[in-house]
Amino acid sequence: MSHMGRHMTHTGVEQSAGQSAGQGANFIEEIISAHVAAGRPRVVTRFPPEPNGYLHLGHAKSICLNFGLALKFSGAVPTQCNLRLDDTNPAAEEDEFVQSIKEDVRWLGFDWGEGLYFASDYFEQLFEFAVRLIRDGKAYVDSQTPEQMKATRGDFHTPGVNSPFRDRSVEENLDLFGRMQAGEFEHGAHVLRAKIDMASPNINFRDPPIYRILHADHHRTGSKWRVYPMYDFAHGLSDAIEGVTHSICTLEFEDHRPLYDWFLEALGFEEGARPHQYEFSRLNITYTVLSKRRLQRLVYEGHVESWDDPRMPTIAGMRRRGYPPAALRHFCERAGVTKNNTLMDVGHLEHALRETLNATCRRAMAVLRPLKVVVENLPEGHVEWLEAPFYPAEEEGALDLGARRVPFTRELYIEREDFMEVPAKKWFRLSVGAEVRLRYACLLTCHAVVKDEGGEVVELRCTWDPASKGGTPADGRKVKGTLHWVSATHGARADVLLYDRLFSAPSPGEGKGDFLEDLNPSSLEAVSAVLEPALLDVPPGEVVQFERLGYFCADVKRSAPGAPSFHRTIGLKDSWAKVAQG
Ligand code: ATP
Ligand code: MG
């Protein structure tokens, strides 16, 4: 396919992609469909993270896209999606990050098969490629200082100036490059640059550096190398070495595409048998930061507990928070793949989360801010074990998730905010003289309140209607409010963490000196809650719905056997939307 033809297809599809985000085939899928229809023998993509941090939600999008494409076309041609650890920068990379990346990709539901690679495995080959460029007169060792190189690079309006070292002989270049690798020179004394065009309107073409001296040991190659390849050089060539056909990256690399092609061309990778780069827009979402540098600061400066703090938008944090992988996949699918840089509402993510949890989670009762209720017409020590399903039978598409027994006793707890001493208009919950339903139990009427010296209500004196067992009164009278509750004598006291959004501004840091100024001071609140006994059997990692309150996850780190430590995954409704509207 000619370059022209490819470019036109690209732009043509791109426009429709912008309009139909999230529905049907995205523009990259359409490009690949056309390639497959035209007889391309295979589709190979890759996900190329740099192991210098944990993966975040933006990476999840790239993972779903790249692995998703390999799955989508697997019926038509042989396909593969590689996981390539792009570990060309020895300073920042650690094995902990490599392990977390592998775990996160697998957890999201994808499989790289045989395709696990490290860019550092190609160091030998990349070095040979660089030597070939020198031999062909397409690269030279520049001995200007970094400042001189910067000053002679020019800018958008001004062409660059050739380096005085640009016309070194092949022999001299080979000798210097060899001695750079032998460790003879200090960092910054020389760099190897591609010899392209210092006057190019595309600044990436102005003799870009391809190898630099770094006296740093690498987590996989140890002290073998004293020169390390630059991203632009290593990336496309790694793609070519692996036989990648479609190299998909984010839009900021659009201007690098001609350079991507230049290296492949210069090293003799034939058009038709070499990878091509396609760009899509990064995922940005409100109330969230998705940049490794910022996430690093949150962790290293102690604003969160760790990379997998449940408030972090890292895949590990979201997993710990209670996100099922399907919720992330659905969200990424719906977010669509376009070339428009947009800021997505975090509400879409939360919606995908609630939707997935609603369809799978068991439900039980917990009271977060307990207010004591004494049922005066129940004898002291009396226990009534009520049978209650884990998923309400009356609900559409109800799941059979089993049942548990709930103890009903003389002393109970209800949610403090379900009682109002002076009821507001249309208050269907409890107040003095009012009758409500206790979920799965009975109808209950409040007669009096007990207050402490400060005047705060600390106890409600109530009676139950024994002819309303299960919650349906014998005379069929209507009762609107239904409350959740827990036995005070049989319930278990437990600290529950109420996580909320980590940032309180839609675009953290916008118009401020620092994004940390927008940290939400109430992103973590601990309450002393009461759990119904069945909740003690919830295994770590499971999310259950606390009825009327939201979804809560038994934390994998803080839970002990028989003593789950719950945190809020997400509320039932978007409380932020209400605040914004009201
Ligand atoms: P960050 O800006 O967070 O440091 P990065 O792009 O430097 O991210 P890499 O590890 O190099 O991080 O990224 C691996 C892949 O994930 C790249 O192909 C990159 O384009 C993609 N990616 C990173 N962030 C996003 C995002 N917000 N949306 C979509 N894709 C992303
Ligand atoms: Mg990067």
CATH code for the domain in which residue 158 is found: 3.90.800.10
Confidence band of 17 (pLDDT split at 50, 70, 90): very low
Pair (173, 79) in one structural domain = no
Tell whether 6 is covered by a domain. Answer: no
Question: Is residue 51 within 6 Å of ligand 1 at its C-beta?
Answer: no
According to the model, what pLDDT value does residue 93 have?
67
Pairwise CA distance, residues 86 & 97, whole Å: 12
Q: With 80 as the cut, is the pLDDT of residue 92 above it?
A: no
Tell whether 90 is covered by a domain. Answer: yes
Ligand 1 mutation pick, 52, 59, 65, 331, max ligand atoms within 8 A of CB: 59
Residue 49 Cα to ligand 1 midpoint, Å, equals: 7
Task: Write the DSSP assignment of 70-98 as a string of letters.
Answer: HHHTTTTS-EEEEEEE----TTT--HHHH
Pairwise CA distance, residues 553 & 563, whole Å: 13
Tell whether 354 is covered by a domain. Answer: no
Mean pLDDT (whole number) for 391-395: 83
Confidence band of 498 (pLDDT split at 50, 70, 90): very high
Q: With 60 as the cut, is the pLDDT of residue 4 above it?
A: no
Pairwise CA distance, residues 32 & 201, whole Å: 30
Nearest to 328 by CA among 112, 556, 108, 550: 108
* CATH number of the domain within which 575 lies: 2.40.240.10
Pair (243, 219) in one structural domain = no
Pair (217, 279) in one structural domain = no
Question: Is residue 250 within 6 Å of ligand 1 at its C-beta?
Answer: yes
Residue 125, H or E segment: helix 123-135
How remote is the C-alpha of 70 from its chain's centroid?
21
Mean pLDDT (whole number) for 157-176: 97
Pair (269, 369) in one structural domain = no
Ligand 1 atom 3 nearest Cα: 291
Question: Is residue 292 within 6 Å of ligand 1 at its C-beta?
Answer: yes
Atom of ligand 1 nearest to the CA of 250: 20
Tell whether 356 is covered by a domain. Answer: no
Ligand 1 atom 25 nearest Cα: 58
**Residues belonging to the active site:** 50, 282, 292
Number of domains in the chain: 3
Residue 3, H or E segment: helix 3-19
Question: Is residue 434 within 6 Å of ligand 1 at its C-beta?
Answer: no
CB 31 within 8 A of CB 343: no
Pair (328, 443) in one structural domain = no
Per-residue model confidence as pLDDT tens digits over 355-389: 999 999 999 999 999 999 999 999 999 999 999 99
Tell whether 5 is covered by a domain. Answer: no
Pair (116, 128) in one structural domain = no
Which pTM does this prediction carry? 0.92
According to the model, what pLDDT value does residue 272 have?
86
Residue 86 Cα to ligand 2 midpoint, Å, equals: 9
Pair (470, 443) in one structural domain = yes
Tell whether 347 is covered by a domain. Answer: no
- The set of residues, in sequence order, having a beta carbon less than 8 Å from that of 3 and lying 6+ positions away, is none
Atom of ligand 1 nearest to the CA of 253: 20
CB 420 within 8 A of CB 431: yes
According to the model, what pLDDT value does residue 7 have?
31
According to the model, what pLDDT value does residue 578 have?
53
Q: What percent of the chain has pLDDT over 90?
A: 89
For the chain, the straight-line distance linking the first and the last C-alpha, in angstroms and rounded, comes to: 56
Question: Is residue 290 within 6 Å of ligand 1 at its C-beta?
Answer: yes
Averaged confidence pLDDT in the chain: 93
Residue 311 Cα to ligand 2 midpoint, Å, equals: 23
Per-residue model confidence as pLDDT tens digits over 415-465: 999 999 999 999 999 999 999 999 999 999 999 999 999 999 999 999 999
Ligand 1 atom 4 nearest Cα: 292
Q: With 90 as the cut, is the pLDDT of residue 575 above it?
A: no
Q: What are the angstrom distances between the C-alpha of 273 and each of 131, 227, 257?
A: 23, 29, 17
CB 467 within 8 A of CB 452: no
**335, 353, 380: which is the final residue of a domain?**
335
Pair (505, 567) in one structural domain = yes
Sign of CA dihedral 407, 410, 413, 417: positive
Mean pLDDT (whole number) for 347-353: 96
Residue 380 Cα to ligand 1 midpoint, Å, equals: 62
Pair (221, 240) in one structural domain = no
Q: With 50 as the cut, is the pLDDT of residue 10 above it?
A: no
Question: Is residue 336 within 6 Å of ligand 1 at its C-beta?
Answer: no
One-letter amino acid at 536 equals L
CB-side exposure of 494: number of CA atoms within 13 Å?
27
Ligand 1 atom 27 nearest Cα: 58
Tell whether 10 is covered by a domain. Answer: no
Residue 203 Cα to ligand 1 midpoint, Å, equals: 22
Q: With 60 as the cut, is the pLDDT of residue 248 above it?
A: yes
Q: With 60 as the cut, is the pLDDT of residue 354 above it?
A: yes
Question: Is residue 282 within 6 Å of ligand 1 at its C-beta?
Answer: yes
Flag the least confident range among 54-63, 166-175, 394-403.
394-403
Mean pLDDT (whole number) for 33-39: 97
Pair (222, 273) in one structural domain = no
Pair (443, 489) in one structural domain = yes
Mean pLDDT (whole number) for 307-333: 98
* CATH number of the domain within which 97 lies: 3.40.50.620
Q: With 60 as the cut, is the pLDDT of residue 5 above it?
A: no
**227, 245, 262: which is the final residue of a domain?**
227
According to the model, what pLDDT value does residue 13 have?
31
Q: With 50 as the cut, is the pLDDT of residue 214 above it?
A: yes
Question: Is residue 43 within 6 Å of ligand 1 at its C-beta?
Answer: no
Pair (425, 549) in one structural domain = yes
Tell whether 502 is covered by a domain. Answer: yes
User: Domain range for residue 466?
Assistant: 363-581
Nearest to 469 by CA among 444, 433, 434: 444
**184, 205, 227: which is the final residue of a domain?**
227
